[in-house]
Amino acid sequence: MSPRVRLHASVLAGLLGACGPGDRDGAVFEPTGAPPTSTAGDGGGTASATGGDGTGAASAGTAGASTASGETGNMPKFDVGAGTGASAGDDGGGTGGCARIDLLFVMDISASMLEEKQNLAANFDAFVQVLDDHIAADNGFSGYRIGVTNSSVNRTVQGCTTTMGFDGRLFDGNGNCGLGADPWIEGPSPNAKDQFACLAVNPIPAGGGTDCGHEVPLEVVEKFGGELAPGKANEGFYHKDANSLLVVVIPTDEDEDPDSMSNPTQAKAFLDGLAGGEDRYGVVVIAGPGPGPCMGAFGDAIFAEKLQTFTDLVPNGFFGSICQGDLAQTLATALEEMVVTCDNLPPPEG
């Protein structure tokens, strides 16, 4: 395993802005032409939503956030696995290096996350620019792919049946996002920002359905890997060769659900095997930093203890607070650190 360099930067903590409003319990969605709206008093956060046509991609919020007890001083953490001969801050020149980055976004579709997803989509151009600039530098980096799924799995838990999960399959935008034959964004592309906004703001099936609020992003990551097999929905997305870096991005105001079929140790072991070593992938989690709930401009977030443990286990793991209020360039900054990881990517183990 390569040596680890820990980089602290307070600017990274605000990657997704503040938390979303309202009830985080289950919600029933129907695709309409209007952005999702919560209905108070229905016990389940009933909402209507568009099925992946990009409606509701609002402007980014930049309001400041207040912190709950225990959050003060909680710095984001990013561990960069440096290749042989690399030093802290080295942006290239390792003995490995990658030619491509494959990014998987696992989106929380609960109603309380709408404004964060809109904020993410509105700031996505800066994120894409980092990738495009790396290609323009002509240092061997040639392209990227961006795929989106949601953090729900279709099953019955505590008497409520979720029907809007993709079970790790990539969302194709219900044919509305201009993706072509494959359910992902192929970069570089001048349409990447608009395509991402279309995919990420509301990744649900075309027919709508029910989401019971049991978010299981770690389980979904494992299911995503299963769908990479020949003939499966995600075949061809992850290059899975010596020159490709996989990056998993999980924005949520919750934690891995107690009924999840995965856990931090299991999810890390799965990704180690999928990528060919623990230094050959990166993880970005934006969630509640704990130890208690945090409050932001759009609402609150619970302590994502399991997801924080997961990022602590991963050498190239970043955890930032979702309750920070100013997005600024933080999304791009996080990706710049992933580019460092890419430039120093070691060969697969074995």
At residue 30, the pLDDT reads 37
Q: Is the peptide bond before 203 cis (omega within 30 degrees of 0)?
A: no
pLDDT mean values, one per 10 residues, the chain (350 residues): 35 35 40 34 36 39 37 40 32 62 96 88 85 89 97 97 98 96 96 95 96 97 98 97 96 96 98 98 93 88 97 93 66 81 93
278: left (phi > 0), else alpha (psi -120 to 50), else beta? alpha
Residue 319's DSSP bridge partners are 77, 285
Residue 107's DSSP bridge partners are 150
At residue 4, the pLDDT reads 36
At residue 123, the pLDDT reads 80
Name which of 229, 223, 89 is nearest 155 in CA terms: 223
Do residues 219 and 262 lie in contact, with contact meaning Cβ atoms separated by under 8 Å? yes
What is the separation of C-alpha 21 from the centre of its chain, rounded to a whole number of angstroms?
A: 20
Residue 325 CA: distances (Å) to CA of 39, 62, 328, 332: 25, 6, 9, 16
At residue 91, the pLDDT reads 37
Q: Does domain 4-54+63-343 fall into CATH 3.40.50.410?
A: yes
Give me the phi and psi of 211, to 5 degrees please.
-120, 125
**Residue 167 burial (C-beta neighbours within 10 Å; 0-12, 13-18, 19+):** middle
* pTM of the predicted model over 0.85: no
At residue 325, the pLDDT reads 60
Name which of 312, 329, 308, 245 is nearest 62 in CA terms: 329
Domain boundaries, the chain: 4-54+63-343
Do residues 77 and 311 lie in contact, with contact meaning Cβ atoms separated by under 8 Å? yes
Do residues 13 and 320 lie in contact, with contact meaning Cβ atoms separated by under 8 Å? yes
